[in-house]
Amino acid sequence: ARLIGLEIRRLVEESGCKIWDKQLKGYRPIAYRDIVILLRATYGRANAYLEQLRQLDVPAYAELGTGYFQATEVQTMLSLLQIIDNPRQDIPLAAVLRSPLVGLDGAELADVRRTLPNQSFYAALVATSEQPDQLGEKTKRFLGELMRWREQARRNNLADLIWQIYRDTGYYISVGAMPGGAQRQANLRALHDRARQYEQTSFRGLFRFLRFIERLQAEQSDLGTAPALGENEDVVRIMSVHKSKGREFPVVFMGSLGNQFNLQDLRRDLLIHKDLGLGPLAVNLEQRVRYPTLPRLVIEQRLVLETLSEELRVLYVAL
């Protein structure tokens, strides 16, 4: 992913490469929107490409069906909402203190922990806030904001609380200055919108909203990252081969070609083929061993050939 990103940046910024523009009926300098990265499947891979391109300051965009709850800015806000609901939760509290919302470093977190090593992290934080030093001032300021947000959570609706946090902390603006800032801000707006939509139902309140999010995560019902860019934006597209239309982009990179083909289905105890039927394993109960039957070996070979044929077809589409 990084090698592709470096080559894209070289093409756009250094090579002086020009492409034919049908609308202008002439040559023009290559732009990011002329480039696409095609993947066999975007699931589990597109995020890695996006992150590498963002680190190289190469604008990129991918429509992802998952990944919303894994976004750093969303995890940070959910951790903050958790401790607004109940501050005596050590893991979310430590995550918020370490985040840009508070900005404590590892050494400062360790100092907080050492204040009251045998009690909760929240109790140690309260004790730290009473100390007359810089760390005490930081933690005292945060605890004051936390108490105010807890009061607002009891009186105001959830969507207003979330937007108030964005304003109080400047977090919405600060993530906009990070790599991929437009996408990060879109994710934060989506969290606000989903909280507003949730409160339009018969269920309301921060506690119930957090339980709703936990159920989504437990059921692996992840939400796609919020759309942040339109089709005409000057960004590199990342998409699956199946979504590409062919001859849509002047410059195409085919990524992740070094990955092995997925042959996990061949490890099942029972193989099924639409033409050849069933391919079971034989079991010797006395020796307690399993071995493939002749029909299974035949079906295995046929499935391997069909899988390779499908992969070749996909590569042909990419070409």
Contact 112, 125 (CB under 8 A): yes
CATH of the domain at 159: 1.10.486.10
Q: What's residue 142's pLDDT? A: 92
Q: Which residues are bridge partners to 254 per DSSP? A: 38
Judged on CB neighbours under 10 Å (0-12, 13-18, 19+), 75 is middle
Domain for residue 61, yes or no?
no
What is the average pLDDT value for the chain, to the nearest integer? 84
Domain for residue 203, yes or no?
yes
Domain for residue 161, yes or no?
yes
User: Domain total for the chain?
Assistant: 3
Claim to verify: residue 165 and residue 195 sit in the same structural domain: yes
Domain for residue 43, yes or no?
yes
CA distance 92 to 280: 49
Claim to verify: residue 84 and residue 182 sit in the same structural domain: yes
Q: What's residue 213's pLDDT? A: 85
Angle among Cα 14, 17, 21 to the nearest 5 degrees reads 140
First and final CA of the chain: distance in angstroms?
19
Domain for residue 207, yes or no?
yes
Claim to verify: residue 46 and residue 182 sit in the same structural domain: no
> Residue 78: what residue type?
L
Share of the chain above pLDDT 70, in %: 90
According to DSSP, residue 208 is labeled H
Claim to verify: residue 173 and residue 47 sit in the same structural domain: no
Contact 235, 229 (CB under 8 A): yes
Q: What's residue 312's pLDDT? A: 76
Q: What's residue 219's pLDDT? A: 65
Token pair in block for residue 279: 């391919």
Claim to verify: residue 285 and residue 189 sit in the same structural domain: no
Q: What's residue 22's pLDDT? A: 80
**Local confidence band at 171 (pLDDT 50, 70, 90 cut-offs):** very high
Claim to verify: residue 186 and residue 307 sit in the same structural domain: no
Claim to verify: residue 206 and residue 180 sit in the same structural domain: yes
Average the pLDDT over 33-61 and give the result. Answer: 81
Per-residue pLDDT tens for 23-37? Answer: 888 888 888 888 888
Domain for residue 242, yes or no?
yes
Which domain, by its residues, includes 26? Answer: 2-54+229-254
Domain for residue 46, yes or no?
yes
Claim to verify: residue 76 and residue 214 sit in the same structural domain: yes
Domain for residue 92, yes or no?
yes
